[in-house]
Structure 1
Amino acid sequence: MRNFFRDKSLQNTPAERPRIGDILLCSVHNALQHYRKFVQNSPIYLAAINEFTRANSAFAESLNRLQMKHSYCFNINFVMLKVIHRMVVWQNLLGRMVAAFLEDCNENETASQLSSCRVALEKKKATLEGLVHFIKFVELGDDLNIIDGLTDPLRRFIRQGWLCKWTKRGFISHVVILFNDALLFAHRSQTSGFIRNAFLPLRSMKVEEGDALHVVTDPTLCLTIRAVGRTFLMSSDCTRVRDIWFEEIRRAIDNAKNSAVEKLPQTETFGAKGVPCSTLDVCWYRHATLGINAIIAAPTNQMSGYLLRKYRNSTEWEKLWVVHANFALIFFQSHQEKEPLALLPIVSYHISLPQLNDEIDCDNVFKVSYNTHCYFFRTDSLYSFSKWYECIRESAISSSPLDVIANYMEAKKLEITYATVYLHNLIYMTADFNTNYSLVELWAVLIIRC
Structure 2
Amino acid sequence: MFFLFSDMLLYTSKGVTATNQFKVHGQLPLHGMIVEESENEWSVPHCFTIYSAQRTIVVAASSKVEMGKWIEDLNFAIDMAKKSQEKSTVFIDSQLCDRSNRSSDEVSLEQESEDDMNSSRTSLDKQTHHRANTTMHVCWHRNTSVSMSDHCQAVENQLSGYLLRKFKNSNGWQKLWVVFTNFCLFFYKTHQDDFPLASLPLLGYTVSTPDESDGIHKEYVFKLQFKSHVYFFRAESEYTFERWMEVIKSAASTTGRMTLLIPKGGTGPMEINGNGI
TM-based fold match above 0.5: yes
Q: In the alignment, what sits opposite 1:223?
A: 48
Q: What root-mean-square deviation, in Å, do the aligned CA atoms of Structure 1 and Structure 2 show? A: 2.9
**Structure 2 Cα separation of the partners of residues 310 and 335 of structure 1:** 19
Q: Deviations for 1:216-246, whole angstroms, at most 9, x for unmatched residues?
A: xx61132221212412122333332122112
Matches within 5 A, 1:42-61: none
1:285 to 141, 145, 159: 141
For residue 293 of structure 1, report the CA deviation from its aligned partner: 3.6
Higher helix share: 1
The residue identity in structure 1 corresponding to 2:212 is L
Q: In the alignment, what sits opposite 2:14?
A: 188
**Structure 2 Cα separation of the partners of residues 377 and 219 of structure 1:** 40
Q: In the alignment, what sits opposite 1:245?
A: 70
Q: In the alignment, what sits opposite 1:332?
A: 188
Retained in 1: the 8 A contact 2:49–2:59?
A: yes
Q: SS of 2:14's equivalent?
A: strand
Q: Does 1:374 align with 2:200?
A: no
For residue 320 of structure 1, report the CA deviation from its aligned partner: 1.7
Retained in 1: the 8 A contact 2:36–2:50?
A: yes
1:315 to 157, 171, 185: 171
**Structure 2 Cα separation of the partners of residues 253 and 315 of structure 1:** 53
Q: In the alignment, what sits opposite 1:347?
A: 203
TM-score, normalised on structure 1? 0.44
Structure 1 residues 354, 383: CA separation in 2 closer, same or farther (over 3 Å shift)? same
Retained in 2: the 8 A contact 1:286–1:348?
A: yes
Q: SS of 2:247's equivalent?
A: helix
Q: In the alignment, what sits opposite 1:304?
A: 160
Structure 1 residues 300, 250: CA separation in 2 closer, same or farther (over 3 Å shift)? closer
Q: SS of 1:395's equivalent?
A: coil
Retained in 1: the 8 A contact 2:73–2:147?
A: no
Structure 1 residues 310, 286: CA separation in 2 closer, same or farther (over 3 Å shift)? same
The residue identity in structure 2 corresponding to 1:232 is I
**Structure 1 Cα separation of the partners of residues 10 and 36 of structure 2:** 18
Q: Does 1:208 align with 2:32?
A: no
The residue identity in structure 1 corresponding to 2:245 is Y
Q: SS of 1:228's equivalent?
A: coil
For residue 303 of structure 1, report the CA deviation from its aligned partner: 2.0
Q: SS of 1:314's equivalent?
A: coil
Higher strand share: 2
Retained in 2: the 8 A contact 1:211–1:233?
A: no
Paired positions, count? 220
Structure 1: runs of 5 or more not aligned: 1-173, 401-450
Q: Deviations for 1:19-54, whole angstroms, at most 9, x for unmatched residues?
A: xxxxxxxxxxxxxxxxxxxxxxxxxxxxxxxxxxxx
**Structure 2 Cα separation of the partners of residues 189 and 212 of structure 1:** 35
1:390 to 223, 231, 246: 246
Matches within 5 A, 1:409-428: none
The residue identity in structure 1 corresponding to 2:130 is P
**Structure 2 Cα separation of the partners of residues 335 and 257 of structure 1:** 46
Q: In the alignment, what sits opposite 2:25?
A: 197
Relative contact order, higher structure (CA 8 A, sep 6+): 2
The residue identity in structure 1 corresponding to 2:13 is H
**Structure 2 Cα separation of the partners of residues 189 and 199 of structure 1:** 17
Retained in 1: the 8 A contact 2:207–2:245?
A: yes
**Structure 2 Cα separation of the partners of residues 208 and 292 of structure 1:** 19
TM-score, normalised on structure 2? 0.69
2:60 to 226, 235, 245: 235
